[in-house]
A and B are shown apart, each in its own frame.
Chain A
Amino acid sequence: MALPQAKQSVTAARLDELKLPAGAAWITEIRKDALSRVRDMGLPVRRDEYWRFTNPDELTSAEPEPAALFHNDEGPLFADMDRLKIVFSDGEFDAKASDDLSLEGVEISRLADASNADIHWVQDLYGTLERNAQVPVERPLAALNTAMARDGVLIHVTGAVSKPINLIYLHKSEVSDATLHHVIRLEEGTELTVLETGPAAARFNKSMEVDVAQDAKFHHIRAQGRDHERRAVTHLFGRLAEKSHFKSFTLTANGKLTRNECVLELTGDDALAHVAGAALGDGAHSPFHHDDTVFITHDALNCESRQVFKKVLRNGAVGVFQGKILVKEGAQKTDGYQISQSLLLDDDSQFLAKPELEIYADDVVCSHGSTSGAIDDEALFYLRSRGVEQTEAQDLLVLAFLAEALEEIEDEDIAAALQTLLEGWLARHRR
């Protein structure tokens, strides 16, 4: 079927300048395959139903829009924590800033190296979850990522891992256009925590494919960097085997345009997937548009999934939530929960939500809800009448609003670090 003209020209313009990275035969095959998917699907345009609330133009343009670097006096996040640091500056691996990649219980390598070698587990996985996720909804920017990513981290967890792996994304050039693709495989019964921090680039297209084997547990904590003008599209793909856990939390503050897609498939019985996000947007200095798009497929018995997304918006900030729970035929005893809420601090801000349930099994519990509201004046007065200053009272109520999402973070130190970050953001955005 021929693509509409608008899609054709956007796609052609974007692909025109791009060359497939060099690599071994196996990955070249996968990249070519992904590229042909991009050509077939065409890059997203505003008229696409899946992009109804978010204009993809700045994510698909041939050149990235420049993004000014943002400086603040905060120290790096998780600095006090024992972690293995892997640093990318504008999408380029930074060996000097990174730790040695050897860590007990896990094999870590770079995609740039591996694509010239034969690593079997990666060959089976790279681009696979992305390709599976193209049905029933097309995700052409993820296919583009699979085709074009030169680098990323490959993590194979085979035993006990003593500390989290922190992927740190530095933004140093105002016109950088970064693409990274990470692949993670947790073998049976293993556990891994991955931290992602930093703004990455003026424009960032990142994919992470995570394959979680039986009884394994994957924890993902992300704090998207605070550069006001950065634009990012990210895809988090997960495949969950029997009794496995997948927990992801994302904190987003600032960013002109962010689209975080999360696509999970629960393929083994008794698996559990929790995805949560807290976004703080202030459109005062630069536009803020944040889009969480989640698609969770239940394809096994007795699985649990939770989506908890909270957004605090002010000064014309825009928040988007598209969340779907698909329960396939036979996925009985599914427990699915989805909540998306926004706190609008003024009349200029907007929250657009599209919660969806699609259920083909008859013995399931699924609930979803979506709300938008302002600060509760009664609560504000109550706090003030006890002596709490108006700005502080408002911050308390904002933090209270976000609490349900933050409670999804299991690790107390990580939760505390993010809480501090949030409090700092609120303090700077008082008016």
Chain B
Amino acid sequence: MLEIKNLHVGLEEEDKQILKGVDLTVEAGKVHAIMGPNGSGKSTLSYVLSGRDGYEVTDGSATLEGADILDMEPEERAAAGLFLAFQYPVEIPGVGNMTFLRTAVNSQRKARGEDEMSAAEFLKEIRARAKELKIDADMLKRPVNVGFSGGEKKRNEILQMAMLAPKMCILDETDSGLDVDAMKLVSEGVNALRNEGRSFLVITHYQRLLDHIKPDVVHIMADGRIVKTGGPDLALEVENNGYADILAEVA
């Protein structure tokens, strides 16, 4: 599904290398987790993959189902099936949540040469999805993320994911700012979307999210590289011993 090879990325504005040769392959239907200390490059990886400005790819490649995504515009990546759940979802005053989502769904469909979703069809779908995530009608009408609590914002991200039905979902520290109940709700939302054709890359500091969203593979990232890869037990090891031991071991 997602194949990253020897990815080197620096900042455009300053001479600073952040990713220093990331290799990562996420197979269809699998959930991979990336853990790592602050500043290891986890969020940068998610931004580079989704096409945010400000980064310069100096070497390596990233493909989604064989297609080079690094050359695509952010909206093209989205239409190709990539989705990033933001660590800090952006507030957009004046744009209604529903309008936004409907525009997004239909833009992607149009880009893929599919028919647009009718208003009635969309409404039916979003109501059902929102209910599962305990998102009330008022939240759908309000401007995108404006006045939403931390938990509401993250639930809104998952709602978007559910509506857009991407193939490759990247979750950037989705657990940050969530209490236990909210984390459970968000995780259930994610788990409901797991299927054979859909892959996940879950970026997190903490093992606790992985109690809810069970990964198939866990990677440890440090200083711009994947330094260790293992099964779900690796996350427990981090939880119990911290990163220091692992980093010392691979150094």
Contact = CB atoms under 8 A, between A and B. Distances in A.
Given A376-B92, A388-B104, A402-B94, 13 more contacts: A379-B91, A382-B90, A385-B50, A385-B52, A385-B77, A385-B84, A387-B105, A390-B73, A390-B75, A392-B107, A397-B95, A399-B94, A400-B94
B79 interface: yes
Interface of B: 50-53, 73-75, 77-79, 83-84, 86, 89-95, 99-101, 103-105, 107-108, 111, 143-144, 160, 164
B103 A384 contact: no
Interface residues of A, number: 24
A389 B110 CA distance: 10
Contacts of A390: 73, 75
A396 B73 contact: no
Given A385-B51, A386-B160, A401 B104 contact: no
Contacts, number: 84
A70 interface: no
Nearest to B74: A384
A309 to B, nearest CB: 16
B84 to A, nearest CB: 6
A74 interface: no
B125 to A, nearest CB: 16
A386 B90 contact: no
A26 interface: no
28 contacts: A379-B91, A379-B92, A381-B51, A381-B52, A381-B74, A381-B90, A383-B100, A384-B73, A384-B78, A385-B51, A385-B75, A386-B78, A386-B100, A386-B101, A386-B104, A386-B164, A387-B107, A387-B111, A387-B164, A388-B104, A389-B107, A392-B107, A397-B92, A399-B95, A400-B92, A400-B94, A400-B95, A404-B94
A403 interface: yes
Given A388-B104, A389-B107, A396-B100, A382 B93 contact: no
A124 interface: no
A238 B121 CA distance: 48
Contacts of A403: 94
Contacts of A382: 86, 89-90, 92, 144
A378 interface: yes
B132 to A, nearest CB: 19
A73 interface: no
Nearest to A379: B92
Nearest to B104: A386
A20 to B, nearest CB: 49
A376 B91 CA distance: 10
A381 B77 CA distance: 12
Interface in A378-431: 378-379, 381-390, 392-393, 396-397, 399-404
A50 to B, nearest CB: 32
A13 B78 CA distance: 63
B72 to A, nearest CB: 11
Interface in A353-396: 376-379, 381-390, 392-393, 396
Contacts of B100: 383, 386, 388, 396
A385 B78 contact: yes
Contacts of A381: 51-53, 74, 90
A387 to B, nearest CB: 4
A402 B50 CA distance: 29
Nearest to A399: B94
B75 A387 contact: yes
Contacts of A397: 92, 94-95
A70 B53 CA distance: 39
Contacts of A384: 51, 73-75, 78
Pick the 3 closest A-B CB pairs, nearest first.
A400-B94, A387-B78, A387-B108
Contact of A392 (B89, B103, B105): B103
Nearest to A386: B104
Contacts of B86: 382, 385
Contacts of B74: 381, 384-385
B53, B86, B103, B143: residue with the most chain A Cβ atoms closer than 10 Å: B103
Interface in A273-322: none
A392 B160 CA distance: 18
Nearest to B90: A382
B39 to A, nearest CB: 21
A397 B103 CA distance: 13
A400 B93 contact: yes
A394 to B, nearest CB: 12
Nearest to B86: A382
